[in-house]
Structure 1
Amino acid sequence: MITIFHHARCSKSRAALMLAEQAADRLDEPLLIRDYVAEPLNYAELETLLAQLGQPASALLREDDACTLCPAVLAHREDAIAVLEALAKEPRLLQRPIVVRQGRAIIGRPPEAILALFD
């Protein structure tokens, strides 16, 4: 299964969704599209996503949005617990899009970065 954490207002997310849809069709795999703003990830889901990403927790933060929505988290962006707690409380802080397949996650910035999951 391919999962995309998607935000329809984001052009990068829409572009990654198109690529994920094409890959799902080609690979004959189901595609789960999760609007993470309407259906926020809980702390445990964020921990799993972070492990699949294999990057520091700060990679999950949209720093521009953090400046206005939760500036305190920027001072603690190296503290994974603080970052995940902030993301669980304010889903708009989550970097987008993120695509997951076979236990690996990639942030789709640029959207073409997700193609590495489908080779």
Structure 2
Amino acid sequence: MHSTVTIWHNPRCGKSREALKLLEEEGITPEIVRYLDDVPTETQLRDLLAMLGIGARDLMRTKEAIYKELGLKDVTDESALIKAMTEHPKLIERPVVITNGKAVIGRPPEKVVDLVKA
């Protein structure tokens, strides 16, 4: 019996689809959050960062055009980076899997299996 497993998922992303498939192969049907449509709040992002044990920039897709357009490379304020992710969820790295108060970024996707088996 697994605890609830949640995946922040973008179905257009190969790594995200691969992570979902790996979970399903483990017999897990995760709760799927399409974070581009159901955008996380600043509080949810702060909670996620705490579970991941990383700073906001480490959760960002720094190669996205919007990252450069917004000039985020030079921003050091965590709150401003988190706000940017809520306004532009495309900036959030994917996939993210959450279970038992822990989280992992599924890059490589096999990391999600390590999390749910722990």
Equivalent residue number for residue 61 of structure 1? 60
Deviation digits for residues 57-108 of structure 1 (CA, Å, limit 9, x no counterpart): 111100111xx113222211x4321210100100000000000010011000
Counterpart among 96, 104, 115 of residue 102 in structure 2: 104
| One-letter code aligned to 1:105 | A
Residue 2 of structure 1: CA displacement?
0.2
Moved over 4 A (4+): none
2:67 is aligned with 1:70: yes
Instruction: Decide whether the 8 Å contact of 1:57 with 1:79 is kept in 2.
Output: no
Q: Please tell me whether the aligned partners of residues 61 and 67 of structure 2 are also in contact (alpha carbons under 8 angstroms).
A: no
Structure 1: gaps of 5 or more residues: none
Structure 1 distance, partners of 2:35, 2:43, is 14
Percent of pairs identical after alignment? 36
Give distance in 2, aligned partners of 1:47 and 1:22. Answer: 30
Partner SS for 1:114: helix
Measure how far apart 1:21 and its partner are. Answer: 2.1
**Amino acid across the alignment from 2:21:** M
In 2, Cα distance between the equivalents of 1:94 and 1:116?
A: 21
Give the Cα–Cα distance (whole angstroms) in 1 for the partners of residues 23 and 35 of structure 2: 16
**Greater per-residue helix proportion:** 1
**Distance in 1, Cα, partners of 2:61 & 2:74:** 14
Q: Contact between 1:95 and 1:107, CA under 8 Å: does it hold in 2?
A: yes
Distance in 1 (CA, whole Å) between partners of 2:83 and 2:35 is 15
Q: Which amino acid aligns with 1:21?
A: E
Deviation string for 1:16-47 (max 9, x for gaps)?
A: 01112233x26xxx521011101111111111
Letter in 1 for 2:32: I
Runs (5+) with no aligned partner, structure 2: none
SS in 1 for 2:110: helix
| 2:48 maps to 1:49 | yes
